[in-house]
Amino acid sequence: MAGSDDYVWIYYDGHTDSTDFFMNVHNPPYWGNSGRITLSVPGPRMGVHLADWDGDGKCDVLVQNKETGALTMYENRYDASTKKLTFANVGVVTGAATCNQGWGVNIFDRGMRLADIE
């Protein structure tokens, strides 16, 4: 549902399909399943992040390169008039920012995080 946190399952290889997307209908513990999403990005899921990168209020998909930390953005192009959700690969969006800590465990866990600081 627009403006709400939905539930998305991402498989180990970076794909999801329509049976793994549940819309927040604001009626706990129930979830809607009328929304449809099919997405496949270069996985694994450890490098897949969901965030509104461009500030338009829609959740984009960001795929982290393990070695460099570079993020490739799949921009959410939801069309409210048709209720169609598509994603467009707009390329690397992190410029010169890097993070070479990879995806280890314990003190070497994922060094790169996404957060809305302001």
Encode pLDDT of 10-24 as tens digits: 888 888 877 778 888
Higher pLDDT, 63 or 112: 63
Residue 70's pLDDT is what? Answer: 93
Question: Residues 51-78, buried b or exposed e (16+ Cβ, 10 A)?
Answer: eebeeeebbbbbbbbbeebbbbbbbbeb
47-91 confidence digits (pLDDT tens) = 898 899 999 988 899 999 989 989 999 999 988 888 788 899 999
Amino acid, res. 100? N
Q: Which helix (H) or strand (E) holds 25?
A: strand 21-27
**Residue 43 pLDDT exceeds 80:** no
pTM of the predicted model over 0.75:
yes
Angstrom distance (rounded) from CA 21 to CA 39: 11
